[in-house]
Structure 1
Amino acid sequence: MKLKFLHNIENKIYFIPSLYALIATLVSILVIYLEYQYSSLLINVLPSFFFTSYDLSKTILSTIAGSLFAMITVSFSTIMVVLTMYSSQFSPRTMQDFLKNKVTLKVLGIFIAGFIYSILTLLFIDDRLLKSGESTIFSAMIGVIIAIVCLGYFVYFIHHAANSVQVNLLVESLKEDVIEIVDKLEKRNNSNDQIRNQPPDDLKASLDRDFYELHPKKSGYIQIIYDLKLTQLADQYDIIIRAEKMIGDYITENTVVFKFWQLDEQMDKFKDEKLVEIKNNIRDHLVISNERSKNDDIEFGLLKLTEVALRAISPGINDPNTAIFCINQLGWVLSRIAVANLENTYYYNDKDELCFILEDISFWDLLYKTFYQLSHYGKQDVSVAGSIIDALVIIAEGSPQDVKEQVWKFSHYILGGFDKNVLEQEDKKFLNHKIYRLAKETGHKKQKEKYFQVENFKIN
């Protein structure tokens, strides 16, 4: 499938540098061709300072090639240092955010392109281009322009690398990546009348019958499910397809990834050849890789934010303020997800018939998977417990009432797992104020069973 092939290519680290290298090769060939075929015309059209002698051109291009190779070496060393810091200080899962960042790949691509242009041009120019001892070679001037551009990108890359190791900017970037996915999905779902959050009334009856199972041909993480294409495919074959696994799930050859039902119960069962055709076409709309992708995986984005917070509260790093900042960002992201209503998505055809079902992770499960590790490893840290309650308040603000109820119920789990033996009177007051804010926001202001017993303590 074309979309699947393009995704696999674009997701490779070498794609952008290779693209720049190809462009540089074409530019070099074009410049050499113009010099050999139209040098007389170019001399009359371009200013004289564009042209250099043969010996000077060789010197310029060889100097540029050596300098750019040194830049590539320094850039590669910088990348390795940043990746080491990401792995040790933040999370191994965040390494791809720097390595596959478009700025990083474009800088490497520009350097490689400049080096290839200089080497190829150096290879093909010779003294046959000289006419009457005049300066008639302009490819060196193009090389100088490329070198200046590369120098500008080198300065920008150093700035980018310095910003990338600042934890607050990294956390902000991780948050924006998840928000971008949520915004994209919400915008697409709201603009398409055939995508709805409510199932048809007869859904249970439609699925309570014989079905076909589909297994993948290789193991790995699900990176993309082409839901709209699968809807068209289901409409074409008069079937209902349901995804049993979500983006980000790890699957093996024994995993049931999809189930599908014939729309018309009276139809004869699919013959073997037809069944194989349908299964192969469905598999073509599923992208599986040996690593998770940040492009459409909301849960993966939350996981990376959580891991940065966990590293921050670990005894080796002991940076609770960074953990608090991460938890606040998690609260903001989850509050955005709560109002986006992305849990269950049902896809219909033009005849208003259900074709495809994508039942995503519930909001409660998302809450649990986001905070359960933080709750466990921060159970003796009052600041972590307080920041999680603050995050729950952020989620509750502006959310529907059913989300508020889930948040209030989830706060019981967070505080129930906290080690209350480490609390002093002032710690209890600190947490009680936060619990009160949450109770007020969720409509449980009168419920006192969660407050810690503190002498002479009163909340107005």
Structure 2
Amino acid sequence: MKLKILHNIENKIYFIPSLYAISATFLSIAVILLEHSYGRVLADLLPAYFFTSYDLSKTILSTIAGSLFAMITVSFSTIMVVLTMYSSQFSPRTMQDFLKNKITLKVLGVFIAGFIYSILTLLFLNDTLQGTGDANIFSAMIGVIVAIVCLGYFVYFIHHAANSVQVNLLIENLKDEVIEIVDSIEARNNSNDQIRNDPPANLNTLTNREAYQIKPQKSGYIQKIYDLELTKLADEQDLIIRAEKMIGDYVTENTVIFKVWQLYPAAEFKEDFTDISEKILTNLVINNERSKKNDIEFGLLKLTEVALRAISPGINDPNTAIFCINQLGWVLSRIAVANLENTYYYNDKDELCFILEDISFWDLLYKTFYQLSHYGNQDVSVAGSILDALVIIAEGSPQSVKEQVWHFSHYILGGFSKEVLEQEDKKFLNHKIYRLARETGHKKEKENYYQVENS
């Protein structure tokens, strides 16, 4: 339950700025208390230029507060411009990549923190030190340091915003996000002996019995499944739990999201099943939007949508689409060797506790390219780039993946409009399919399959 609450809080845009705002509040209180209680001691320890008079301190802090408020306004306007461009030029799904980017949120947090520090310090100065003409106030110096830091962050934010609207950098970032998710899942699975990709020999016997069904309490997208916690719960209750839906799936109150079997059929539940069901659902996070943190398919979807926008008649930027498709090929090649399709969780007694069956590689391949194949069926460059991506996937992959890639190329080329091909186009595509056939071990079949003749 605590993990679920923490996950929901961390996904909120206001989480990081709130941390900075709270920190600035404590800093302001600490500085004023220190100044009020140990002002003379500080005057003896610190150089004289650290201190200012009350009037000068008030002027400095007022100026800083006004300047930072203006920075916040400019930054907010910049964010709205970038979000508009993301929505119209790239994909509405990519907006959260900028809006929830840690750099963006940290910059806003620093500006808000500086503004709060200045305002609160002004308030405390008015209450405690008004009328003192001595130059014994050092909170203004702290305010100046904060202002300089904010100015540096402002310059960095402008640089970040300028880079964010460059489509090649956006595509690279989207690719790196998916690769990071794959790497983290694979590293965790490899480091835990209780997580395996091999099912038990008696899996069918265990799961062919009548199952208890669990449905969610609200509709939305699955953002997180706490698999290790569910494994521990299943072990404690002598259960086998299977997730019927994956991260990124949309579910309603009528969707069966978990199926539960008793490990020992003749035994009774250790608790009331309603209580067990509630405990299981506490290890599930459902929200009204998909999250990019754990959703591999969502990351691929965003890359696909950027490519689709690039080949649309309104934008007509095939080179961006080609670059994006190449990155899709690299991501899928990484997924192909990660072996993430099926994951089985065992307890210390080597008994199956939890099953989380992820999307198959074939389905992932299809969902990544089927829209690109449909909307780019008359663009030779798109067909060629998809074949290049399939070659990238086949390189270094096991033979089972190579076979899937080769058969998938039939689907891609079968949906292409042959009528638009000229002789040079045919030569171009013949070369691509030859490379793929050679890489997948189907060199003898390439002429028989691809129904385009050389002149």
TM-score bucket (shorter structure): over 0.9
Q: CA deviation at 1:191?
A: 1.0
- Asked if the contact 1:130/1:136 (under 8 Å) is kept, the reply is no
- Asked if the contact 1:331/1:394 (under 8 Å) is kept, the reply is yes
Give the whole-Å Cα distance in 2 for the aligned partners of 1:18 and 1:361: 37
Q: Which whole-Å deviations, capped at 9, do the CAs of 1:175-198 have from their partners, x for residues lacking one? A: 000000000011111111111111
Report the residue type matching 1:161 in the other structure.
Answer: A
Matches within 5 A, 1:35-50: 35-50=35-50
Q: Which whole-Å deviations, capped at 9, do the CAs of 1:96-147 have from their partners, x for residues lacking one? A: 0000000000000000000000001011114863798430000000000000
Matches within 5 A, 1:38-187: 38-126=38-126, 129=129, 133-187=133-187
Counterpart selection for 2:279 from 260, 278, 281:
281
> Percent of aligned pairs with the same residue?
80
- Asked if the contact 2:64/2:147 (under 8 Å) is kept, the reply is yes
- Asked if the contact 2:194/2:347 (under 8 Å) is kept, the reply is yes
- Across the aligned residues of Structure 1 and Structure 2, the Cα RMSD in angstroms comes to 1.2
- Asked if the contact 2:427/2:454 (under 8 Å) is kept, the reply is no
Q: Which residue of 1 aligns with 2:236?
A: 236
- Asked if the contact 2:54/2:134 (under 8 Å) is kept, the reply is no
Q: Which whole-Å deviations, capped at 9, do the CAs of 1:398-428 have from their partners, x for residues lacking one? A: 0000000000000000000000000011100
Give the whole-Å Cα distance in 1 for the aligned partners of 2:127 and 2:274: 64
Residue 261 of structure 2 aligns to a residue whose secondary structure is strand
Q: Which residue of 2 aligns with 1:311?
A: 309
Q: Which residue of 2 aligns with 1:324?
A: 322
Residue 38 of structure 2 aligns to a residue whose secondary structure is helix
Give the whole-Å Cα distance in 1 for the aligned partners of 2:21 and 2:265: 56
Residue 449 of structure 1 aligns to a residue whose secondary structure is helix
Q: CA deviation at 1:434?
A: 0.3
The 3 A distance-change label for structure 1 pair 140 and 430 is same
The 3 A distance-change label for structure 1 pair 204 and 92 is same
Q: Which whole-Å deviations, capped at 9, do the CAs of 1:228-259 have from their partners, x for residues lacking one? A: 11000000000000000000000000000000
Q: Structure 1 stretches (4+) deviating beyond 6 angstroms?
A: none
Report the residue type matching 1:246 in the other structure.
Answer: M
The 3 A distance-change label for structure 1 pair 337 and 58 is same
Residue 453 of structure 1 aligns to a residue whose secondary structure is coil
Q: CA deviation at 1:214?
A: 0.2
Report the residue type matching 1:329 in the other structure.
Answer: Q
Give the whole-Å Cα distance in 2 for the aligned partners of 1:68 and 1:171: 32
Give the whole-Å Cα distance in 1 for the aligned partners of 2:449 and 2:127: 88
Give the whole-Å Cα distance in 2 for the aligned partners of 1:389 and 1:107: 42
Q: Which whole-Å deviations, capped at 9, do the CAs of 1:333-372 have from their partners, x for residues lacking one? A: 0000000000000000000000000011000000000000
Report the residue type matching 2:241 in the other structure.
Answer: I
Matches within 5 A, 1:328-407: 328-407=326-405
- Higher mean alpha-carbon deviation, 129-138 vs 240-249, is at 129-138
Give the whole-Å Cα distance in 2 for the aligned partners of 1:329 and 1:140: 50
Give the whole-Å Cα distance in 1 for the aligned partners of 2:124 and 2:64: 16
Residue 125 of structure 1 aligns to a residue whose secondary structure is helix
Residue 213 of structure 1 aligns to a residue whose secondary structure is strand
- Asked if the contact 1:87/1:94 (under 8 Å) is kept, the reply is yes
Q: CA deviation at 1:35?
A: 1.5
Give the whole-Å Cα distance in 2 for the aligned partners of 1:455 and 1:359: 45
Give the whole-Å Cα distance in 1 for the aligned partners of 2:30 and 2:453: 81
The 3 A distance-change label for structure 1 pair 60 and 212 is same
The 3 A distance-change label for structure 1 pair 129 and 289 is same
Q: Which residue of 2 aligns with 1:413?
A: 411
Q: Which residue of 1 aligns with 2:453?
A: 454
Report the residue type matching 2:66 in the other structure.
Answer: G
Give the whole-Å Cα distance in 2 for the aligned partners of 1:133 and 1:12: 46
- Asked if the contact 1:175/1:305 (under 8 Å) is kept, the reply is yes
Q: Which residue of 1 aligns with 2:267?
A: 267
Give the whole-Å Cα distance in 1 for the aligned partners of 2:6 and 2:121: 32
Q: CA deviation at 1:217?
A: 0.3
Give the whole-Å Cα distance in 1 for the aligned partners of 2:132 and 2:298: 66
Q: Which residue of 1 aligns with 2:435?
A: 437
Report the residue type matching 2:48 in the other structure.
Answer: S
Report the residue type matching 1:386 in the other structure.
Answer: G
- Asked if the contact 1:428/1:452 (under 8 Å) is kept, the reply is no
Residue 356 of structure 2 aligns to a residue whose secondary structure is strand
Give the whole-Å Cα distance in 2 for the aligned partners of 1:195 and 1:7: 23
Report the residue type matching 2:184 in the other structure.
Answer: K
Residue 95 of structure 1 aligns to a residue whose secondary structure is helix
Q: CA deviation at 1:449?
A: 1.8
Q: CA deviation at 1:452?
A: 3.7
Counterpart selection for 2:421 from 408, 412, 423:
423
Residue 266 of structure 1 aligns to a residue whose secondary structure is coil
Q: Which whole-Å deviations, capped at 9, do the CAs of 1:192-219 have from their partners, x for residues lacking one? A: 1111111011100111112100000000
Could you list the runs of 5+ residues in structure 2 that have no partner in the other structure?
Answer: none
Q: Is 1:21 aligned to residue 21 of structure 2?
A: yes
Q: Which residue of 2 aligns with 1:295?
A: 293
Report the residue type matching 2:405 in the other structure.
Answer: V
Residue 393 of structure 1 aligns to a residue whose secondary structure is helix
- Asked if the contact 1:54/1:127 (under 8 Å) is kept, the reply is no
The 3 A distance-change label for structure 1 pair 127 and 255 is closer
Give the whole-Å Cα distance in 2 for the aligned partners of 1:48 and 1:336: 60
Q: Which whole-Å deviations, capped at 9, do the CAs of 1:21-73 have from their partners, x for residues lacking one? A: 00001111111111111111110011111000111001000000000000000
